[in-house]
Homo-oligomer: A and B are copies of this chain.
């Protein structure tokens, strides 16, 4: 089970024989499937699958798998991606001043709950630099004003390229990512401190308190050009009562934020999330 595996994520218009065709591709090349999940969205007429098999004993060399599968995928009009479990994705974490989500991700990496390299932390404030140093991670302080934002984002993108980053995690990065940035780098997971779509935008805990809700939540989603409206990966909630003031909501919410963000990042890194339209399929 711990030998390296390959994972295919595929989505394509629904038609007969898709499971058979993909399974046959792997079986006929000697692969042993260890996980296979399918979902059909009938309203979208879309078939989505995640299939993982052991590379040991698989007859195709790694570099041939993709071109070989393309021959099957093309006639199906499929979107697909291929991942190897022993190629660690590279993360950059964007933060501002709050440390709870950052520390939580770094702890989980240390505990091997998250399988990734984390070579880079970027912040618009210098406060969290000591944490980066403690974990031996490069920390880049890029301050941002309304005027310098384009330039700051250019710098960020340059760093992402330099560090060959695969995924950006906004770990309480209290800045809006512009559509221009996302056009150039689109794999961005954000944690929003509310149960979206409730309390999108600023100050969700204050507004949750004002509204007198009895449950608060947190939402991890892919960042898109429309703020707080990207495809949701994971949500969770916790009960509050009249005894909880705004500070209590913030405190309780921090536990949600770090757990929900960590789950979403882990699911993404395990290639368990497929996006279509503004929705996700999560093969958990």
Contacts and interface: CB of A to CB of B under 8 A. Distances in A.
A281 interface: yes
Interface in A1-39: 1, 16-21, 23-24, 26-28, 30-39
A280 interface: yes
Given A107-B103, A197-B198, A235 B211 contact: no
The majority secondary structure among interface residues of chain A is mixed
Best-buried of A17, A134, A233, A251 by chain B (most CB within 10 Å): A17
B30 A282 contact: no
Contacts of A100: 107, 111
| Interface footprint category on A | 35 or more
A168 B27 CA distance: 41
A85 interface: no
A105 B256 CA distance: 16
Contact of A16 (B31, B39, B111, B233): B31
24 contacts: A16-B27, A16-B30, A16-B32, A17-B27, A18-B33, A19-B19, A19-B27, A20-B23, A35-B40, A37-B37, A37-B38, A41-B242, A100-B107, A100-B111, A103-B107, A111-B254, A134-B134, A196-B211, A197-B199, A197-B211, A212-B280, A213-B235, A241-B284, A242-B282
